[in-house]
A and B are shown apart, each in its own frame.
Chain A
Amino acid sequence: MFIGQDITRVDALDKVLGTAAFAHDLKKNNMLFACVVRSSRPHAVIKRIDVSAARALEGVVTILSHEDIPGENLFGAIKKDQPFLAAGRVRYKGEAILVVVATTEEAARRAADLVSIEYEDLGNISDPFISIQSPVLIHDGGNLLSHRKVVKGDVAKGFESSDVIVENAYSTTWIDHAYMETEAGLAYLDDRGRVVVASSTQNIHYKMKEISRLLAIPPEEVRVVQATTGGGFGGKLDVTVEGYLALAVWHTKRPVFMRYTREESLLAQTKRHPLYIVYKTGARKDGSLTAVEVNIVGDTGPYNSYGETVCLRAAVHATGPYEVPNVLVNSRMFYTNNPVSGAMRGFGVPQLALAHESQLDEIAGLIGMDPLDIRMKNALKRGSLTATSQALNHSAGLLETLKAVEPFWRERRKEGPGSGFGLGCMYYGIGNTGISNPSSCYLTLTPEGRVEMHSGVCDIGQGSDTVLLQILCDALGMEEMGIDLVRGDTDTSYDAGSTSASRQTYISGMAVCNAAQKLKKYLKEHGHYDGKPLKEIYRDAGDKGVPIFEGHFDPPTTAPDPETSQGAPYATYAFATHMTQVDVDEVTGVCKVIKVHAAHDVGRAINVSSVRGQIYGGVAMGIGLALMEEFIPGKSGSFDNYYLPTSMDMPEVEAMIVEDREPTGPFGAKGVGEPALIPQAAAIVNAIKDATGVRMRQLPCDIERLKLALEKDKENKG
């Protein structure tokens, strides 16, 4: 048995030795260095570009513009709307305009500084509420990227039958992924003249396709390899350095390396979407929810990236993990000239959790009910209908997570003024929303008598390589881990889809199970389970060779109805409850998180240590989201003014694993990557209210905001 054990991660040894080759560490003889010239304006027409001084600089090899792109200049995971290199117009500060290639990194950066660009400014749409009414269009089709609705029952009737109604507005801001390794990669031509790009990435097959479109060459002429990747969290899903590298190698025929500086990563890469949420909740005196009406307005910046995805996912998760008979959600995503917002751990759901969890506490307060009891009363459970009327027929362990924290909740005691406790719950659909998102892999045998797993899954530090090996070992009934892993290379693997949406354990895990079944059948037919060693099976296969055994899985979902989003957008959901204790200094506004009980229904914990690791990391990111992280365009240029949680900010965390097994998942597993973060900020905000009586509806509630709110509260009371 490998599942449920703390199997040491397969990548850990190289990482503690310092020998793991991250994208930043890649090198080739004779390599050139690239860097990007970026827009200094949020919205402008480019009138003139003068590269003469830059070109004259010693070491500069070439300077490439959109005119040097042989194929299509537009990329995008959902919609191809973002130029690799601006074609005459820029739509955000930091947009890429040119690629400078030089013999040293220093020369490339100096040359980039010498490029002079003349702009003619266009109207700067700096927020989505301006975007709604502005005559200035960011794209020809208008400034509304997406509008999704969830309609269930009749909210008007629902509110009529309510004893209490609470309505409030909430808002969140831009968050940077702040992976410790900035975007980086190396590109070169292989001996067959194909373009090879090795980079820090969350999805190799997607990037292969984008490069093939960019260069107008068939995908087979492109190979993408995942270097050891220093974190992703959604920010390395979009094409980052890969396009520029491919273009540079295409023109120079020499290896090219590039990496973003931290400043550049902060300036130019995607962020978490700021969402503005107006939330109305109705309930009866007994605490049962009657209706929820939500209006969400989001700022995606000038390009889609994952804006549509966030718009829809936020909408279908808007009620939180509760049974609500009447639901109306309007979720709108607008283009602006702000930073591009894209995928970040939770895809809009952490923002919504702030709202639905705050609302629930307010309702509980009005009717005099305990916050835990109101959650238990409304919790989704087996047989419940979600906001999209999906019947939860399988794993649905929210109640178990609530019960896990219950003893600690009931026993809680405030430790003096400023001490408080809060709850946050969440549910999260595993995999992409209502669309096909398959994963494939294949297995074979090696002459040495080992099983070889070919995996296109990008392990970005969360531990999927180890988890998939554990699943394979158990699926084959192996006693020792006799598996060679061939991974992260489009030449040697099938498309496993992106490492996103907490999908790899569940979806790629099932693909591995599917392949294992076929291999097992073959091994049985060839006498392995009667004692014949794999080596002999390989040898006896002779010239015919051992076939490859393919595994596939695509979670069963239905497309959301375009008008109502009703349907079954996900095959399974993860559930969680975080109970959080804080200590607020009412004079300074400093909020310290003291203790977190984090209970997660993961279906089945394949690797307990990795599940704990995800939970702890999620708590840390939730603390950042709640209390300190705020990307301010034009101001946040480094970690000097974009604050990340350090060890000193971390509370004691009790990770509690609940296993309501999911019959459609690998050995019962679901996912935990994003769920770990989602309820944390909400739980902190509820704890601050409990501690101080002040409800914070805008994130982050950093020291200044909290101090101001506490002072205002005092004035009002005084």
Chain B
Amino acid sequence: MKTIHFTLNGKRTSVDVEDNETLLHALRERLGITSVKEGCGIGECGTCTVLVDDEPHYSCLTLASKANGRDIKTVEYLSSSGVLHPLQEAFVRSGAVQCGYCTPGMLLSAYSLLLKNADPDAHDIKEAISGNLCRCTGYIQIEEAIKNAAEVCKCNSQG
């Protein structure tokens, strides 16, 4: 066991973890962040996606100890100001959510994309979520939602 310190959704956080413990396990079991999902446990599905310094990572493949000193974001961050992020808003409106199991991971991959690329084209969007499997939606309404959210974010930042 050792104690790690990191920023979780904007807040300084400390938690004791085992040496071989995954970040997924630490978040879900020790910190109660159940929005981070486990779909496969071996880096093949993307439902466990979190942002490490704003880059998407599979938390099932990330050692918790590697989070030490880093900035970790889960989907809770997106609405931490009390209002829905334009991406969340767009996911709700565009029918991008069916069973919803992939949704938190999708949102984080999309959020990371928009940080780097405010004006993504269709291919950029497809690529950004290509590591997140969804068995329900066929991805199309998710891609529409990301496109719509990008527009809104652009307007917000210009306005």
B-contacting residues of A (Cβ < 8 Å)?
Answer: 6, 8-9, 11-22, 24-25, 177-182, 228-231, 233, 261-262, 460-463, 609-610, 612-613, 615-621, 638-640, 644-648, 650, 653
Instruction: Assess whether B129 is in contact with A12, with CB atoms less than 8 Å apart.
Output: no
Within 8 A of A (CB), among B102-159: 102-104, 107, 125-127, 129-143
**A14-B104 Cα distance, complex, nearest whole Å:** 11
Q: List 17 A-B contacts (CB under 8 A).
A: A16-B107, A17-B88, A179-B99, A179-B101, A181-B37, A228-B99, A230-B100, A231-B135, A262-B40, A461-B99, A609-B94, A609-B141, A612-B141, A613-B136, A616-B138, A646-B133, A647-B132
**A615-B95 Cα distance, complex, nearest whole Å:** 12
**A398-B93 Cα distance, complex, nearest whole Å:** 30
**A461-B44 Cα distance, complex, nearest whole Å:** 22
Instruction: Assess whether A16 is in contact with B75, with CB atoms less than 8 Å apart.
Output: yes
B22 to chain A minimum Cβ distance, whole angstroms, is 13
Residues of B within 8 A of A610 (CB): 95
**A24-B36 Cα distance, complex, nearest whole Å:** 11
Residues of A within 8 A of B47 (CB): 180
Partner of B137, one of A262, A617, A644: A617
Residues of B within 8 A of A647 (CB): 125-127, 129-130, 132, 139, 142-143
A617 to chain B minimum Cβ distance, whole angstroms, is 5
B45 within 8 A of A: yes
Partner of B99, one of A180, A616, A619, A648: A180
**A25-B47 Cα distance, complex, nearest whole Å:** 14
Interface code B30-52, partner A: CB below 8 Å = 1, 0 otherwise? 00011101111110110100000
Residues of B within 8 A of A620 (CB): 135, 137-139
Q: How large is the interface on B (under 10, 10 to 19, 20 to 34, 35 or more residues)?
A: 35 or more
Known contacts A182-B39, A609-B141, A639 near B44 by CB under 8 Å: yes
* Interface pairs A-B: 3 shortest CB-CB: A18-B35, A461-B99, A15-B100
- Since A231-B99, A262-B40 are in contact, a sample of 19 more A-B pairs with Cβ atoms closer than 8 Å, ordered by chain A residue number, is A13-B92, A16-B88, A16-B100, A17-B76, A18-B76, A18-B103, A179-B99, A180-B39, A181-B37, A228-B99, A229-B99, A230-B101, A463-B98, A609-B141, A613-B141, A616-B139, A621-B135, A644-B135, A648-B130
Instruction: Assess whether B37 is in contact with A24, with CB atoms less than 8 Å apart.
Output: yes
A179 to chain B minimum Cβ distance, whole angstroms, is 6
**A645-B141 Cα distance, complex, nearest whole Å:** 15
Residues of A within 8 A of B97 (CB): 9, 11-12, 15-16
| CB closest chain-A residue, reference B103 | A15
Determine the main DSSP class of B at the interface with A: loop
Instruction: Assess whether B40 is in contact with A648, with CB atoms less than 8 Å apart.
Output: no
Residues of A within 8 A of B139 (CB): 616, 620, 646-647, 650
Residues of A within 8 A of B125 (CB): 647
Residues of B within 8 A of A617 (CB): 98, 135-138
A-contacting residues of B (Cβ < 8 Å)?
Answer: 33-35, 37-42, 44-45, 47, 74-76, 79, 84, 88, 91-95, 97-104, 107, 125-127, 129-143
Known contacts A22-B101, A612-B141, A650-B139, A16 near B84 by CB under 8 Å: yes
**A139-B33 Cα distance, complex, nearest whole Å:** 47
Instruction: Assess whether B44 is in contact with A24, with CB atoms less than 8 Å apart.
Output: no
B92 to chain A minimum Cβ distance, whole angstroms, is 4
Residues of A within 8 A of B132 (CB): 647
Q: Taking each of B39, B95, B132, which has the highest tally of chain A beta carbons within 10 Å of its own beta carbon?
A: B95
| CB closest chain-A residue, reference B107 | A16
Instruction: Assess whether A22 is in contact with B135, with CB atoms less than 8 Å apart.
Output: no
Residues of B within 8 A of A462 (CB): 98, 136
Instruction: Assess whether B100 is in contact with A461, with CB atoms less than 8 Å apart.
Output: yes
Instruction: Assess whether B99 is in contact with A230, with CB atoms less than 8 Å apart.
Output: yes
**A417-B17 Cα distance, complex, nearest whole Å:** 57
Residues of A within 8 A of B94 (CB): 609
**A14-B84 Cα distance, complex, nearest whole Å:** 11
**A638-B130 Cα distance, complex, nearest whole Å:** 18
Instruction: Assess whether A180 is in contact with B141, with CB atoms less than 8 Å apart.
Output: no
Instruction: Assess whether B42 is in contact with A640, with CB atoms less than 8 Å apart.
Output: yes
**A639-B44 Cα distance, complex, nearest whole Å:** 6
**A16-B42 Cα distance, complex, nearest whole Å:** 24
Instruction: Assess whether B91 is in contact with A16, with CB atoms less than 8 Å apart.
Output: yes
B73 to chain A minimum Cβ distance, whole angstroms, is 12
Residues of A within 8 A of B37 (CB): 22, 24, 180-181, 230
| CB closest chain-B residue, reference A9 | B97
**A460-B42 Cα distance, complex, nearest whole Å:** 25
Partner of A18, one of B44, B75, B134, B135: B75
Residues of A within 8 A of B102 (CB): 180
Partner of B134, one of A177, A180, A618: A180
Residues of A within 8 A of B127 (CB): 647-648
| CB closest chain-B residue, reference A22 | B101
Q: Taking each of A12, A18, A20, A619, which has the highest tally of chain B beta carbons within 10 Å of its own beta carbon?
A: A18
Residues of A within 8 A of B131 (CB): 646
**A463-B97 Cα distance, complex, nearest whole Å:** 9
Known contacts A229-B99, A230-B101, A16 near B92 by CB under 8 Å: yes
| CB closest chain-B residue, reference A616 | B138
**A177-B134 Cα distance, complex, nearest whole Å:** 12
**A180-B88 Cα distance, complex, nearest whole Å:** 20
Partner of B40, one of A16, A613, A638: A638
